Homo-oligomer: A and B are copies of this chain.
Amino acid sequence: MPERWLEAKGFLLDMTGVLYDSYGLTGTAIPGSCEALQLLRQHHVPFRFVTNESTSDRQFLAMVLSTLGLQIDAQEIIAPAPQVVKIVRERGLRPFLLVKDTVLQEFAGLKTTNPNCVVLGDAQDDFSYENVNRAFSILMNLPKPVLLSMGCGRYYKETDGLKMDVGAYCKALEYACGIQAECCGKPDPRFFQMALDSLGLEADAVVMVGDDVRNDVNGAQRVGMRGVLVKTGKYRTGDEEHGERRPDAVMENLLEVVRMYLHST
């Protein structure tokens, strides 16, 4: 009897650590990931990319990946910024954007004067005391403070070492203001739903492939998808045991996942 995940009709693919390893605004393709994407396209298997990347807009991200040999359309990328824009529009919010300039394009057209919410991205060097304190002051002056964070990661790895991620600054603001943020991106179920809507498939017909057992695999499983963990990117031996639930499969890399899937169908 084949494994359940092999019966899926489509894929959601994490980007960093599955397609490529990043450093700064560029990176290196993970061996086999270009071929894996080609195989999925050749066999007309639908897929989307889901990422918590918030340092650059999707156009830029697609352009960077194309220089690594990964042919991706910006429209295939589901990122936290569009989810935040959706929330902001639905609720009529005016955000103060504590984000890098390189992602601002995603927020074009939003009203930002007289802000009534704060949006956090991975602002890196723009996380100055002045900027963080500005966000804090805005939140403290609101009767109902709204803090939207594009991911709640602890840290990530670059070639020159580990870097604090946006989640740390989110916790700082939560503590200072005595509030709870809304974490957009993975593993927020609304974020996975956006990706499923874009794919046009139900959760139980989709497999999520990622290198993070909690945010990728368990997050997807929680909304009814299958979750496959790959041993690339930030994967460390034994990670599959450290989530709230075991992955549906643990594979060497994306190419192995795709080959086994195509072989079984």
Contact = CB atoms under 8 A, between A and B. Distances in A.
Interface of A: 123-130, 132-133, 136-137, 140, 154-155, 161-165, 167-169, 171-178
Contacts of A164: 129, 132-133, 136, 172, 176
A133 B155 CA distance: 10
A236 to B, nearest CB: 14
A171 B173 CA distance: 9
Copies, count = 2
A142 to B, nearest CB: 13
B127 A163 contact: no
Contacts of A162: 136-137, 140
Contacts of A171: 171-172, 174-175
Contact of A155 (B127, B140, B168, B174): B140
Contacts of A127: 128-129, 132
A6 B161 CA distance: 58
A128 B126 CA distance: 8
| Interface residues of A, dominant DSSP | helix
A175 B154 CA distance: 7
Given A127-B128, A132-B164, 18 more contacts: A123-B129, A125-B130, A127-B132, A128-B128, A128-B129, A133-B163, A133-B164, A136-B162, A136-B164, A137-B162, A140-B155, A155-B176, A165-B176, A168-B172, A168-B173, A168-B175, A171-B171, A171-B174
A167 B176 contact: yes
A153 to B, nearest CB: 9
A145 B175 CA distance: 22
A157 to B, nearest CB: 11
Contact of A129 (B126, B136, B174, B175): B126
B137 A161 contact: yes
30 contacts: A123-B129, A125-B129, A125-B130, A126-B129, A127-B129, A127-B132, A128-B128, A128-B129, A132-B164, A133-B163, A133-B164, A136-B155, A136-B162, A136-B168, A137-B161, A137-B162, A140-B155, A140-B162, A154-B178, A164-B172, A165-B176, A167-B175, A167-B176, A168-B172, A168-B173, A168-B176, A171-B171, A171-B172, A171-B175, A172-B172
A65 B262 CA distance: 76
A141 to B, nearest CB: 9
A129 B124 contact: yes
A262 to B, nearest CB: 39
